[in-house]
Structure formats: structure tokens, C-alpha cells
Structure 1
Amino acid sequence: MNILLHKAPTRGYFDHGWLKTHHTFSFASYYNAARIHFGALRVLNDDAVAPGMGFDLHPHREMEIVSIPLSGTLEHKDSMGNVSAITTGEIQVMSAGTGLHHSEYNQSREQNVEFLQIWVFPDREGVKPRYENAVISDLIRPNELCVIVSPYPGDGHGGLWIYQQAWFSWGELEAGTRAEYALKSPGSFGVYVFVIDGEVEVAGQSLSPRDGLGVSEMDRFEIHAKEKARVLLIEVPEA
């Protein structure tokens, strides 16, 4: 088993006033040659956007983009005509494909919206852009690691899908519980474990809120919740 530890304070950080953002991997003005990507996982941004503020219309192409609100409400508009808002317990997936424009705003005038924005390299190019959101809270079962994003539609896992052999799993674990993760694909590069909140132990490493751990060259591993915790696991192939 190989491990790659990223403690929360070592991430790139920028305070733009309206936006406070942490970058696990190199992004925008943050560059770290040792942190370009983890397999096909290219971006893991942890953003907090001030009330009424947000990202103006901007382009994307040839990337799978997943947004997961942690608090507040995130409003989305795009060049395909989609207008929607997602909040805690929901998720958004966008396949940029041949190209699109979109904007993201904090719908509230009173509180921040906090969300994870995650980019995954696709396994094909030139697809028609697509957008989808869904409620995932119904998929979550206590003390289990539940799939919320998987490859392609109709694979029986529920949740949303992307153009990549990648699986996103969400865990809400009570203190003292253990949950085993078995890789979905034997050919996967590995799994990136990101702690939303709480304390867990993985592969002998103690992880605190917003710590990340890349685990590779194994078939399965265990997560031990040392206190009540929420975790996101992203299984990806090589880039």
C-alpha cells in the first residue's frame, strides 16, 4: 500500500474577500509541482462564497466537474439554459465536453455558501456538454460508504454519473465505527480520502477536518472513525 498525505494547512489558500478558497491540488495562482493531480483527480477546491457573491459566467471544456454543497445554497446557470440551485444533501455534475459557460452564485444574502468543487479528467473527448443535479441524502446510510457518483448511467449504484471510471462515495460515521472500502475496479489508480469533518484513521494515519489521503496499490482498506465524521472518497484510474 502506498499513501500520500495532505494535511489541511498545507493546501493552497487565497482570500479574495468575497471568496475564501483552499486548493488541495495546483489551481489558478497556486502551483505545487508535487500536487498536480492524483490519478484522474485533477482539482479538489474547498470554497466559501460570501452572501450574494459568486463566479461570473466562465468557460469549461473536456472536464467532469462535481459540486457538493456543505452549507448554504449554490445557484447555477449555464449556456445550455439550465438554471437551478442545490443545497446540503444534493450534488451537481457537469460534463463540459466540447465546451460550455456557467456561473455559480451564493443564493443567500445572509450566509456563506460552502462547497467542494472537484474536477476529474474524462475518459473521452468531444462529448456533448451535459448538466444534472440530484438529491443524494436518500442514498446515505449511517456508518456505510455509499456511492453518490459512478461511471455512466444505469450501473445500479444510484446517484449521478460521469464520463470516467471513477466512483465518489460518502460516509457519515459515528464515533468508534469502522467502515471498509473495497475498490470498485481492480485497475484503479487509487482512492483519495477527504475528511469533511471529524477525526478518522486510515492506513495508520490520523486525519482531521479537511485532511486528504491518497491510498494506492491495494484492494481494500478500513476507515476508523475516532469521533463522529463525514468523509468523501474518490476512486480514480490513472490520468
Structure 2
Amino acid sequence: MTSSVVLLVEDDADLRLTTRLVLERQGFTVVTAEDGVDALDRLRDQSVDVAVVDVLMPRMDGLTLLRELRTSVEHAELPVLLLTARDLPSDQVGGLDAGADDYVVKPFDSAVLAARLRVLLRHRGPSAAPTWHELGELRIDREGMVVERAGQPVELSATEFRLLDALLEHAGQVLSREQLLHLVWGSADWGEPRVVDVNVQRLRAKIGADKIVTLRGSGYKLVR
């Protein structure tokens, strides 16, 4: 079975080597680049399945590289996971706004990073025969990570789909921001509650504002 190819873009040589070895032990094939400029050069002659991109880099930083990819015909749909040492809400929101599919803060657990990448790859790859969950005009295939609204496909990032999946799993139940941080990002300590709010707003815009109810001071719930 052919392993998935990861483009790892990291300017710190030691961390680049360590992360490459970690991902290779997890079964990935890894192509490395030192910064955004180097990454674009790699992509000209190397096909990759997913990219792990550090935010703070010389010459071309991660957010600039991400914007370049999102405006590229060839790489616009490439799943991108951002790495950063700065656990600030503004950084998290800025990365998601730039088009990142996911976001991991250093230092990170290698198993968590690999799991996040596998989720991104499942989101990109072909799915099995769908088993649909229907909520009015909304149809959700949880295994295939496919969403339709009124018969039209809805494009969700991996993070947005994990959020929808968590709400669907607990449909009709109020989930606090802390609970959603744990269910979607893996830990209630992962980031600021504002990250949840931003992703809920984006999800509402795509699936319908009436599908997710806000209970002020308590959290969010998906309407059955």
C-alpha cells in the first residue's frame, strides 16, 4: 500500500528532522522544505497529499505560503495543517481565515499530529458508500465526510467537519465551548473559546444559521 506524502515546511533544522522522523514512523512519506519559497519549488516537481507548514519562517512565512496555495489552480485544494509556537487566539483565527484546514501548537504530540493528518487525508480522499444522516435539507455522510444542503455539496474544512460531527453526535444537547474544544481539538486547553465561536460562525454560514442554536452562557447545540 502506497503511503501518503507529506510536505513538511519548517525552518528549524532540528525540528524539521525530528518531525520528519516522527511522521515516517507513523507511516508517511515526507518531503521537506526550509521555508515557503523552498516549498513552492518542491511542489513544482513533487506531488504531495497534505502539507504541514510552520507559521513563522524567513523569506516566505506560513500564512503567505498558504495564501499562495489557495490561489493556485493546482494546489488550491491541498490540505494544510499549520504549526506554530504561539498559542494566541489571533494566530489561530488568522490561520483559519487564511485557509488552513487545521492548526497544531508546538510542542505537539506526535500521535496527535499523525491523527490530524489522517483526518485531513480522509476528507480529501474517496469515500465508501455513504450512510446519510438527514436534518431537514441537510444531509451528512459522517464516514465519507460529505455534506449536502438542499442537494448541493457543502465544502467544509476538516476542522469544520469535526465540529459538525461533534454537534451531530450530541444533537439536541447543549455543548459548552470547553466541551467542543475537547471533542474537536483534542483538549479543553488547546485554545481560546473564541476559536470555537469563529468556527461555529463559519459552519452556520455553510449549513444554515438555524441549524446551530446558541444558548448564551452555556454553549451550542445542533437542532434535530
* Same fold at TM > 0.5: no
Scaled by the length of structure 1, the TM-score of the pair is 0.28
More helix by share: 2
